[in-house]
Chains A and B, each alone.
Chain A
Amino acid sequence: MTEAATEIAVDTAIKESAIKMRGSDVSVFYGEKQALFGVNLDVRKNSVTALIGPSGCGKSTFLRCLNRMNDTIDICRVTGEITLEGENIYDPKIDVVELRARVGMVFQKPNPFPKSIYENVAYGPRIHGLTKSKAELDEIVESSLRKAAIWEEVKDRLHEPGTGLSGGQQQRLCIARAIAVSPEVILMDEPCSALDPIATAKVEELIDELRTNFTIVIVTHSMQQAARVSQRTAMFHLGKLVEEGDTDKMFTNPDTKLTQDYITGRFG
């Protein structure tokens, strides 16, 4: 093997190892209606991938495929292959429960359980048996709340209901709840759409920090948000992946006219 060939092989290996999740030819059907058409998309490790596109373009559908949340919808059918670290997550041998512990999710609307702040965060570790003692659980709760940048605000009221927090705090609580089970990937479905600008700024800042420990996929309607927080961007339109690439390139020099138009706000 020549030196150049070795270099290429090493490069590919580095690239391959940098890929956390890979969707190949993913199509989704809701009953008769097809919502996604053969999407191929890679999610890179320790980076933020933003999915953008007009409403109804399939970006949330794709996101929900990544931890099989679509399973909860009776009429939904998924074809193609999605891998997590090379393992097909739609393989019948895969335990969905375990998968969702590895690929956590934060939703559009903050949805804290009607329990105390502490119990909200402790929920995941409890059901997965991640801790052996109360002290350990306390530690996980605190570190998760710290990582979600909400610890200072709630440390004195851990046993008050989580529903009593403000919208932005609730969303950060939900992020803490997702972090608490130490997932590898966190999926976020328009996490800031129900928040005011200040809360949004806090959550965006948090997403950027979380990148060091987690792989993040985020669906967003805000171009600025995609540009601010993500390293990779994928543009969807009418159930198809139009374009994907580095965020910097997508926002300065997109390959397709469609992306150009959408990013500059000419449609969508």
Chain B
Amino acid sequence: MTPSAIILIVLGLAAIGYFLGRQRALKTAQRDGVKLHSLSGYHGQSVALFVAVPALFLLAAWLFLQPVLIENSISGKIPESAIPEGGAKSLVMFDVRRIADGLNQIIASGDSSEADLTDMRADVTDVRSRLAEVGVALGSDVSPVVFQAAKEYRNIDLVASYLRNIAVLVVALGFGIWALRRIQPKLRARNISETFIKALLMGSSLVAILTTVGIVGSLLFESISFFKMYPAEEFFLSTTWNPQFRGGSELGFLPLLWGTLYVSFVALALAVPLGLMIAIYLAEYAGSRLRGFAKPAIEVLAGIPTIVYGLFALMTVGPFLRDWIAQPLGIGSSSSSVMTAGLVMGIMLIPFISSLSDDIINSVPQTMRDGSYGLGATKSETIKQVILPAALPGIVGAFLLAASRAIGETMIVVMGAGASARLDLNPFEAMTTITVKIVSQLTGDTEFASPETLVAFALGLTLFVFTLSLNILALYIVRKYREQYE
């Protein structure tokens, strides 16, 4: 029985539990001639929840733990000699899993029986061609040790799955019967379902939190193994970025950081003034009809996929800047440049700044404006001296959010900024950013456990720390601002 079949059965049991619970509640109430504390539906719901939730939790935990545990026990049995030179144990284990899968398929296809399989031996039968028949292609002949391990893997897996199914059903039925039997008119089933649902919702938010922890954890873990291979001070302080396939790379992240900050600076230098002026116009000057049209129209910019912006940078902005500005002035010959990526990214960021700032300016109380107009201030004096100072913390928050977006942006810089890591002031030169290098280091053809690949994680972690602190700062400022008027 596959896990999905088990899930369906558990859900079916839950549905049955719901009706039984309802019925039983109504019946006991009638028999005792008293009023139910909770509506009968709540009794049904609490039975259904007790049937489904613990059983499904068990199933999820089991599905997660079973392969890990089996693999640990099997991999201990594979001798070092079975591992080919230059390979890793994990690769052998990968084969073991695939062969075990293949054996399952052989049984399922009906060509061989369980008994045939027990007799099958790698040194006698041509296992590789048998497996190929059912669609499992192997790179080399199967060694007896690996085949034995695969058979063992399969056996343990079968038993464990069998046990799993039984355990899940027992838990479902056990909790269900217990919940059903305790039903009596006085039982506070409504409160029970309430608590249960609260726990369920809490569990959901836990999933998001645990995922974040997991991502940070894996970044941290891989970064640590990178720093074991490559000195941290060179990573953080060296000004050369020169990865080599055959080792001896120089992996200083300063040129990448410089590129990232330079591109972001250009982008923000375009987006912040423009976005802010748009926001002021929309919030203070535009009539409601124009505003109703213009605001969504500008927000469309935010909905354009960044790869489309990338195309725009690559095909239009880059060549334009090169042909009309960089080459005539003799300051660059590349269509990929900091300017290209920065300008296009700036356009992408405009709606962030304008939309957030517009909301913030609108949330400055009308009484503030009245107060200023009442003293004979003009519109622009009011905006400059009262509204913007009042909205400033929020606008700073919007700015920081846009900045963290700019720093983490990938697609536009991959296509617009170029790939050469350098420390240069000329904005018409191609430069590269942290995100671009993460992409190129991970998609390269180097071995995974080399510093050249693992550096991507260290870069990712640095980037994460960067944007996280910007976001925290932004949230802190925005929150502080909110307190002012409440």
Contacts and interface: CB of A to CB of B under 8 A. Distances in A.
B141 interface: no
A174 B370 CA distance: 12
A139 B389 CA distance: 25
Interface string A127-167: 11000000000000000000000000000000000010000
A105 B372 CA distance: 10
A230 interface: no
A180 to B, nearest CB: 8
B370 A107 contact: yes
B367 A124 contact: no
B303 interface: no
B395 to A, nearest CB: 14
Residue in B287, B371, B377 whose Cβ sees the most chain A Cβ within 10 Å: B371
B368 interface: yes
Interface residues of B, number: 21
Contact of A178 (B288, B374, B381): B374
Contact of A124 (B376, B378, B390): B376
Interface string A101-112: 110111101011
Nearest to A98: B376
A8 to B, nearest CB: 39
A114 interface: yes
Contacts of B368: 111, 113-114
A215 B47 CA distance: 76
A181 B376 contact: yes
B385 A111 contact: no
A67 interface: yes
Interface string A231-265: 00000000000000000000000000000000000
Nearest to B288: A74
Contact of B365 (A111, A174, A177, A181): A111
Contacts of A99: 376
A111 B375 contact: no
B382 to A, nearest CB: 9
B374 A123 contact: no
Residue in A107, A113, A181 whose Cβ sees the most chain B Cβ within 10 Å: A113
B386 A113 contact: yes
B204 interface: no
A257 B386 CA distance: 47
Contacts of B369: 72
A100 B390 CA distance: 22
Nearest to A174: B371
Given A74-B288, A111-B367, A105 B374 contact: yes
Contacts of B390: 113-114
A113 B376 contact: no
B373 interface: yes
Interface string A59-83: 0000000010100101000000000
B376 A97 contact: yes
Interface string A40-52: 0000000000000
Contacts of B386: 113, 123
A235 to B, nearest CB: 25
A107 B365 CA distance: 13
A127 B381 CA distance: 8
Nearest to B381: A127
Interface residues of A, number: 29
A228 interface: no
A67 B385 contact: no
B372 A69 contact: no
Contact of B389 (A74, A114, A181): A114
Residue in A99, A109, A111, A163 whose Cβ sees the most chain B Cβ within 10 Å: A111
A74 B377 contact: no
A103 B287 CA distance: 27
A109 B367 contact: yes
Contact of B375 (A72, A101, A109, A115): A101
A107 B371 contact: yes
A69 B367 CA distance: 12
B484 interface: yes
A113 B372 contact: yes
Nearest to A110: B367
Residue in B368, B375, B386, B390 whose Cβ sees the most chain A Cβ within 10 Å: B375
B367 A178 contact: no
Contacts of B378: 97, 127
A174 B367 CA distance: 12
A106 B370 CA distance: 9
Contact of A127 (B367, B370, B385, B389): B385
Nearest to B287: A74
B485 to A, nearest CB: 9
A101 B385 CA distance: 17
Contacts of A128: 376
A127 B365 contact: no
A142 to B, nearest CB: 18
A123 B367 contact: no
Given A74-B288, A113-B386, A123 B370 contact: no
A100 B367 CA distance: 16
A194 B273 CA distance: 39
A127 B377 contact: yes
A114 B374 CA distance: 16
A101 B372 contact: no
A161 to B, nearest CB: 9
Given A107-B367, A111-B367, A178 B375 contact: yes
Nearest to B481: A114
Nearest to B364: A114
A127 B372 CA distance: 10
Residue in B288, B368, B376, B390 whose Cβ sees the most chain A Cβ within 10 Å: B376
Interface in B63-104: none
Given A111-B365, A163-B484, A104 B371 contact: no
Interface in A172-227: 174, 177-178, 181
B389 A115 contact: yes
B383 to A, nearest CB: 12
A100 B287 contact: no
13 contacts: A67-B374, A72-B369, A98-B376, A100-B374, A100-B376, A105-B370, A105-B375, A107-B374, A109-B367, A113-B390, A127-B381, A177-B375, A178-B375
Interface of A: 67, 69, 72, 74, 97-102, 104-107, 109, 111-115, 123-124, 127-128, 163, 174, 177-178, 181
Q: Nearest 7 CB-CB pairs, A to B?
A: A101-B376, A105-B374, A100-B376, A111-B367, A124-B375, A111-B371, A114-B390
